[in-house]
């Protein structure tokens, strides 16, 4: 176990959460406390005996506090190897006392950078120098010294000291050292990223540093033989799967998380009440309505067969009426994500005999504002980085390319299906009517195959529907297939060398066609 008794501790923290309770706990084991500046003052005000670091070093804090712990009497006490006779002699020769515990969290650089209105001078002053030096020194010498960098580590530290009469085990010291090195690495990455943003030209940095924290180890990945875990950004957006609160249900799976993310990103497209049903990372149903229950009913009816066992997403709090519809006969869903659940809705969803143990309920926080961060996709040996496909739908720029313009009702449905289509795997075709999806063709190698699948899914509902295509039509056969199904209007990016053929096909069949000038491939 290799226990080390804590006799002397140096405390220097910016975040003083739990500081006094920790110091009282250490004092109960007769640990001598050494501290700096505001930390020392807080301990003294609490009536705790504490030595100022300047008393230990023989030098006052100087340069507005920039220099206080950068001294041999501090770092010698931290770095000395207790089992090394030469190190021990050196400490004795220079009257340096060993420091067994360092408690240090760093200047709030990340919080300062993210604060609106923070000046460059403020940000630079919040770059800690002495703190990271102490943290790294203590972490390097973890065989003899414990390093604590977060308030949430205090309770476990004191509990172990109680179990071991004021001592800590080697395993704990090494675990704390690992967390300390992770903290200083993240701190340096944040500083590096800040200066890169100031000095580099272009939207993408020369060096990309990513830091994510493990949220949970998952049961398995896409398939049972694949191991998997869920990592999240430390400052993940409020309205995201990473920050969603799990209110009820079994552990989330790898595939659940992917589908929940897709559901949330689709419903955030709409200002009116919206519902979506996701299956295998594609929407098999989506709709808008005057009420949430109307939107759900229409979304589920888009493809009831595929909807069984799907993932539901909503952009409004789920109310009692919607919960009653969700739990109708012969219906089953894996997960539901929404901005909230009324008490009545939560009760219905968690007490129905066939639902109560299995359905997962997730509540998002914050407004469902557009995502602003970049997309990352792994390839062997590297990472592809791109802007999110968002904010590119200026419907005022739509161009009617046929003699017949869409009716007002058709235009509403064209806009709706266009927003849904960007969330469908390419080649993507979506048929919609009355604010609901009636047919989806996804992920086909040939665009006309996607049209045929969407038409087959829609059946009789294809008559009077509109069609959205995520990319241009390479041939007029897409229009011919849609026309045979009864489609009346089409929205697509345009840009094919055969655009004239597709337009001519629309003219022959009496269809209206609109070009967006924007493509929405989703590979």
Residue 163 sits in a domain whose CATH number is: 3.40.50.1380
26-48 residues labelled b (16+ CB within 10 A) or e (exposed): bbebebbbbbbeebbebbeeeeb
- Tokens read off for 148: 């604590």
For 430, the enclosing helix (H) or strand (E) is strand 429-433
Which parts of 356-476 fold into alpha helices (H)? Answer: 408-421, 447-458
Q: Which of 140, 164, 250, 509 is catalytic?
A: 140
Task: Look up 140 and say whether it is catalytic.
Answer: yes
Task: Look up 298 and say whether it is catalytic.
Answer: no
- Tokens read off for 471: 């990319």
* Count of other CB atoms within 10 angstroms of residue 432: 32
Q: Pick from 231, 232, 70, 102: which is nearest to 176 by CA? A: 102
- Does one domain contain both 69 and 179? yes
- Does one domain contain both 19 and 85? yes
Q: Total structural domains in the chain?
A: 3
* 10 domain-assigned: yes
| CA trace torsion 149, 151, 156, 161 (10° rounding) | 70
CA max distance for the chain: 99
pTM of the predicted model as reported, rounded to 2 decimal places: 0.81
Question: Tens-digit pLDDT profile for the chain (523 aa)?
Answer: 688 888 989 998 988 999 999 999 999 999 889 888 788 888 888 888 888 877 676 566 655 555 556 677 777 888 888 888 888 788 778 877 888 999 999 888 888 888 888 899 889 988 888 888 889 999 999 999 999 999 999 999 999 999 999 999 999 999 999 999 999 998 888 888 888 888 877 788 888 888 888 899 999 999 999 999 999 987 788 889 998 999 998 889 999 999 999 999 999 999 999 999 999 999 999 999 999 999 999 999 999 999 998 999 999 999 999 999 999 888 889 999 999 999 999 999 998 877 777 899 999 987 877 776 788 999 999 999 998 887 656 687 889 999 999 999 999 999 999 999 999 998 999 999 999 999 999 989 999 999 999 999 999 999 999 999 999 989 899 999 999 999 999 999 999 999 999 999 999 999 999 999 888 888 8
List, as own/partner pairs, every contact residues 81-86 make where C-beta atoms lie below 8 angstroms and the sequence separation is at least 24, other chains included.
81/141, 81/143, 81/144, 82/4, 82/144, 83/144
* 151 domain-assigned: yes
Q: Pick from 342, 363, 384: which residue ends a domain?
A: 363
- Does one domain contain both 142 and 53? yes
* 115 domain-assigned: yes
- Does one domain contain both 155 and 256? no
Give the domain range for residue 280. 241-363
Q: Which of 16, 87, 250, 280 is catalytic?
A: 280
* 81 domain-assigned: yes
- Does one domain contain both 121 and 8? yes
- What pLDDT is recorded for position 58? 58
Q: Which residues contact 209 (CB under 8 A, 6 or more apart)?
A: 189, 192, 193
- Does one domain contain both 273 and 176? no
């Amino acid at each position: 176990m290799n226990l080390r008794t804590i006799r002397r501790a140096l405390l220097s923290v910016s975040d003083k959460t739990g500081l006094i309770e920790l110091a009282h706990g250490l004092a109960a084991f007769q640990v001598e406390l050494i501290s700096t500046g505001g930390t020392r003052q807080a301990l003294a005000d609490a009536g705790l005996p504490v030595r100022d670091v300047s008393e230990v070093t023989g030098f006052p804090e100087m340069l507005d506090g920039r220099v206080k712990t950068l001294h041999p009497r501090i770092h010698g006490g931290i770095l000395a190897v207790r089992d090394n006779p030469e190190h021990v002699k050196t400490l004795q020769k220079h009257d340096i006392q060993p420091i067994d515990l360092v408690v240090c969290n760093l200047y709030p650089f990340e919080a300062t950078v993210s604060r609106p209105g923070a000046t460059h001078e403020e940000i630079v002053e919040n770059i800690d120098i002495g703190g990271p030096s102490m943290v790294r020194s203590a972490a390097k010498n973890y065989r003899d010294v414990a390093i604590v960098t977060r308030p949430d580590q205090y309770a476990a530290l004191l509990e172990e000291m109680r179990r071991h009469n004021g001592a800590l085990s080697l395993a704990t010291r090494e675990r704390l050292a690992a967390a300390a090195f992770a903290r200083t690495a993240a701190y340096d990455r944040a500083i590096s990223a800040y200066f890169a943003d100031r000095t580099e030209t272009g939207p993408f940095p020369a060096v990309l540093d990513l830091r994510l924290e493990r949220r949970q180890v998952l049961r398995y990945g896409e398939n049972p033989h694949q191991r998997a875990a869920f990592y999240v950004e430390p400052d993940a957006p409020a309205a995201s799967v990473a920050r969603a609160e799990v209110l009820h249900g079994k552990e989330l799976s790898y595939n659940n998380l992917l589908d929940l993310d897709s559901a949330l990103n689709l419903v955030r497209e709409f200002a009116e009440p919206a519902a979506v049903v996701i299956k295998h990372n594609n929407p098999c149903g989506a709709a808008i309505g005057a009420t949430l229950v109307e939107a759900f009913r229409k979304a589920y009816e888009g493809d009831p067969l595929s909807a069984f066992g799907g993932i539901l997403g909503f952009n409004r709090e789920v109310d009692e009426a919607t919960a009653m519809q969700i739990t109708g006969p012969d219906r089953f869903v894996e997960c539901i994500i929404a901005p909230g659940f009324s008490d009545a809705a939560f009760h219905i969803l968690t007490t129905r005999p066939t639902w109560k143990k299995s359905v997962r309920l997730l509540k998002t926080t914050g407004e469902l504002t557009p995502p602003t961060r970049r997309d990352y996709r792994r390839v062997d040996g590297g990472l592809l980085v791109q802007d999110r496909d968002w904010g590119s739908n200026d419907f005022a720029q739509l161009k009617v390319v046929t003699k017949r313009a869409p009716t007002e009702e058709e235009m509403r449905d064209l806009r709706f299906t266009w927003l849904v289509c960007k969330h469908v795997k390419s080649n993507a075709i979506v048929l919609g009517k009355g604010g609901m999806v009636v047919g989806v063709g996804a992920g086909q190698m040939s665009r006309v195959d996607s049209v045929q699948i969407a038409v087959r899914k829609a059946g009789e509902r294809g008559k009077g529907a509109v069609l959205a295509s995520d990319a241009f039509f390479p041939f007029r056969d897409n229009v011919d297939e849609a026309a045979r199904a009864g489609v009346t209007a089409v929205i697509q990016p345009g840009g094919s060398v055969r655009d004239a053929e597709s337009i001519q096909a629309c003219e022959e069949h009496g269809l209206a066609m609109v070009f967006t000038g924007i493509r929405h491939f989703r590979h």
